[in-house]
Amino acid sequence: MNEQQPQSLFSKSMPTKGKTFFFDVKAAKNGNKYLTITESRIKDGQKFRNSIMVFSDTLQDFSQAVLEMQEKVKTA
């Protein structure tokens, strides 16, 4: 089956020690936009990737939760 990949509208990568994070804004077939956050790392010569998708209807709540956790990390 030849499924079309979602259209990528914006991408940013953030390399860190031992892994890279990729942030991609994509558009689904129905036009709804969403964010994918992918962690890519190599362990024991094997490449691992983990992704989460955050859809536009929950992005504001997701962002607020991340900001709240950022403050907790600073003050813990």
**Domains plus CATH for the chain?**
7-75 (3.10.450.700)
Q: Identity (one letter) of the amino acid at 35?
A: L
Q: What is the pLDDT of residue 7?
A: 74
Look over the chain and give the mean of its residue pLDDT values, rounded to a whole number.
Answer: 92
Examine the pLDDT at 52 and tell me if it is beyond 80.
yes
DSSP summary character for residue 73: H
For the stretch 16-47, pLDDT in tens is 999 999 999 999 888 899 999 999 999 899 99
Query: Strand 33-43 and strand 46-55: pairing?
Result: antiparallel
CB distance 38 to 22 below 8 Å: yes
Q: What is the pLDDT of residue 76?
A: 83
On the 0-12 / 13-18 / 19+ scale of CB atoms within 10 A, 12 is exposed
